[in-house]
Structure 1
């Protein structure tokens, strides 16, 4: 993974070097020359990294070199951050000295310009799964299931919509009416049974539900008629967990037309239609989604507000790819993000567990603390908060959140 993330890291360092060279501290001739040399060196390294990424290098010596380069890149980034901090500190010191000398009052506050903070993503609805929802709801609410505890696994490949289907079933009015209590628990890759049990208890919001749940655990007869819905990619897991259900529920791929509908709604939104050429290209792209709604959603986000030429570029890129599985499509969407620092913001989100909830402003503050957000001519010299909100909206529009 080091080779995939190093490119954005070095691109960010190049931007920082250019930014610093254009600031006051860059007026010192020798310092500005040093920064220009650093920028040229980083640009050369960046070109080598892109070549390494395209070749998917696996040689041990090359991977070791990439790891060392990653550490050096972080050191260079820390150095540039220190320089930037010193530059800001000197500016503030000079401003304070001037205020003290001339007795200037605090400048009036400038009200920032309005910006869009609401999510702009399109609700693509629930395409092609209505029959699946009806079948599972009917199974779970059947009257002959009241004398046992049952487990129904939903099985399918990554990106096929297992979790979305389970959540749709979970929120179905018939399910809410049939079952007195319900809970939603996400099991992450680092599975721990104690942690899972704690999350189950936390999902019961009041003490009365806690007591009922604990009584059910002490005497399973009180929990008869209960269902556990499990999502998994592994058939072996489905076989082990299946209890009192004749078979697991295998989720099928969507049709090409259904994938095109998801892609189109993500790319254009409600009320807008593609031109004939975009529709022809879009249908070809939909075929590359392999029936996966996540792939169609992400590709649609990539094409949002893009022209026909960019649709053609994406379609030709997918044609060249030997394997256009969901991981390759997600990787392509990562590389096509417009700013290198935005790529770092997305990569940073991987440290949080699956289904982790966080306020928008809190995440933006964390990005800012890591040094991912800063003003430069490419983002019209916006403040860090404005850059963070812009980045968040881009990721949301691209369906990468």
Structure 2
């Protein structure tokens, strides 16, 4: 099961519990057999949902747990289908009652004995042998899953994510830095880059590249250099562009031009844009950061750099050696892993709002063990530190340290175990939102109001379909 499948399942069980609590139990109150079984579902679903965190983690090495989760997901969909049938019939009866009130002469035709006082009576066509058989089959499967849960050793793991503040997906990096964080570990690289950027370079545009695997701190190093006070004295203009997967020369040039001339016209012709940019840069010194380049085309690079001359200095960050080679840097900075001491400082700042563990000796040993698992990656130290920021229970730190997710290899998408672990501990409603936002292209820019509107439309879609079907009967 994928991580997004896990997100859907967690949220799905929560939604099913809510459906049962809302109206279905009242709707079937007059049918004792059905009501008792749905009450049983209502008590069982929260117990199963409580062990999902453990199951999602344990399935990594236990095939039996993986099959249990797959069976649970199948059951959840079947339960949802039955509850939708109840919802459909309830809305149908409400519509019939409304029509009956408008036409009293047709009351007996529109409301047979199946409707009495707002509830289904035992003779309702809904509770025929086929429907009761479906309900009983689901009850048997639910009991079986619960029995298997115990035999698989699944137990409840509380989610630290319940204290998580964020409700939006991660945004693309910008040039600005967090003033509350003391950045460590790249002082030598930063100093050398500053000296190269401020030196004279008569041989055309000067490019520096920062190369390293995901999570190594390439963007952070570029931010440190970009925001250094001495840069402001050495350049007339600065521009930051997050390039990412979509190497669009027109949009990149537009962004650079707007940083140089805020009143520039919104052109879409690359030639006009580059001519205008070249004019604006005449006699001016520009520092340009092109962050996160993946495009390996040398031709695209030569077209993009055409407006720039010797007064322009460019910093490129990339994971790819070929990209670094294409931009022909004066020097390429290959980032290695941080020292344990520097990683520990990053972790402590995000977990404890402190540079070290001097004020929190009870967490020192377990904190050092967790940092060793981060394997020198600053992003991993930050992610896990942020995860534990509001957690004061030592046993929860132990649980994070002992998680089997650490033993997973980095997947083809570059998702390091620490980031997968931080996702794992999100609460179900945030996992669901995270999964929904994954449908947007990488680095897609959206407003908070837009996401809220789209999310509400998604949640209302199924109800709208039900209403539409009812009005067709």
Q: Equivalences for 1:264-283 in 2 at 5 Å?
A: 264-270=348-354, 275-283=360-368
What is aligned with 1:328? Answer: 417
Displacement after TM superposition at 1:367 (Å)? 4.0
Cα distance in 2, alignment partners of residues 276 and 34 from structure 1:
52
The answer to whether the 8 A contact 2:13-2:45 is kept is no
The answer to whether the 8 A contact 1:122-1:265 is kept is no
Unaligned stretches of 5+ in structure 1? 95-115, 373-401
Cα distance in 1, alignment partners of residues 179 and 206 from structure 2:
36
Q: Equivalences for 1:192-231 in 2 at 5 Å?
A: 192-207=248-263, 213-215=277-279, 223-231=309-317
Task: Say if 1:131 and 1:318 are closer, same or farther in 2 by CA, change over 3 A.
Answer: farther
Cα distance in 1, alignment partners of residues 351 and 456 from structure 2:
29
Identify which of 176, 183, 188 aligns with 2:232: 176
What is aligned with 2:333? Answer: 249
Unaligned stretches of 5+ in structure 2? 99-163, 168-177, 266-272, 282-302, 461-473
Identify which of 119, 123, 140 aligns with 2:180: 123
Task: Say if 1:332 and 1:21 are closer, same or farther in 2 by CA, change over 3 A.
Answer: same
2:409 matches 1:345 = no
The answer to whether the 8 A contact 1:4-1:53 is kept is no
Identify which of 394, 397, 419 aligns with 1:311: 397
Per-residue deviation, residues 233-283 of structure 1 (Å, max 9, x unmatched):
11121112124x1x3111222111111111111111259865334101111
Per-residue deviation, residues 25-69 of structure 1 (Å, max 9, x unmatched):
431235766866877699989979848952598xxxx9xx97xx7
Task: Say if 1:37 and 1:290 are closer, same or farther in 2 by CA, change over 3 A.
Answer: same
What is aligned with 2:16? Answer: 17
Identify which of 323, 340, 344 aligns with 1:260: 344
Task: Say if 1:49 and 1:289 are closer, same or farther in 2 by CA, change over 3 A.
Answer: closer
Q: Which has the larger radius of gyration?
A: 2
What is aligned with 2:6? Answer: 7
Per-residue deviation, residues 194-238 of structure 1 (Å, max 9, x unmatched):
443344344444247977523369996972221111001111211
Cα distance in 2, alignment partners of residues 219 and 234 from structure 1:
19
Cα distance in 2, alignment partners of residues 260 and 222 from structure 1:
41
Per-residue deviation, residues 79-108 of structure 1 (Å, max 9, x unmatched):
869959x88xx8xxx9xxxxxxxxxxxxxx
SS at match of 2:208: strand
Cα distance in 2, alignment partners of residues 163 and 292 from structure 1:
13
SS at match of 1:160: coil
Cα distance in 1, alignment partners of residues 254 and 82 from structure 2:
39
What is aligned with 2:297? Answer: none
Cα distance in 2, alignment partners of residues 16 and 81 from structure 1:
16
Task: Say if 1:193 and 1:33 are closer, same or farther in 2 by CA, change over 3 A.
Answer: farther
The answer to whether the 8 A contact 1:122-1:269 is kept is no
The answer to whether the 8 A contact 2:258-2:264 is kept is no
Task: Say if 1:194 and 1:220 are closer, same or farther in 2 by CA, change over 3 A.
Answer: closer
The answer to whether the 8 A contact 1:161-1:293 is kept is yes
What is aligned with 1:160? Answer: 216
Displacement after TM superposition at 1:308 (Å)? 0.8
What is aligned with 2:204? Answer: 148
What is aligned with 1:395? Answer: none
Q: Equivalences for 1:41-56 in 2 at 5 Å?
A: 50=56, 53-55=59-61
Cα distance in 2, alignment partners of residues 118 and 316 from structure 1:
25
What is aligned with 1:393? Answer: none
Deviates more, 1:36-45 or 1:19-28: 36-45
Cα distance in 2, alignment partners of residues 126 and 147 from structure 1:
33
Higher share in strand = 2
Aligned residues: 335
Task: Say if 1:203 and 1:76 are closer, same or farther in 2 by CA, change over 3 A.
Answer: farther
SS at match of 2:207: strand
The answer to whether the 8 A contact 2:189-2:333 is kept is no
Task: Say if 1:4 and 1:238 are closer, same or farther in 2 by CA, change over 3 A.
Answer: same
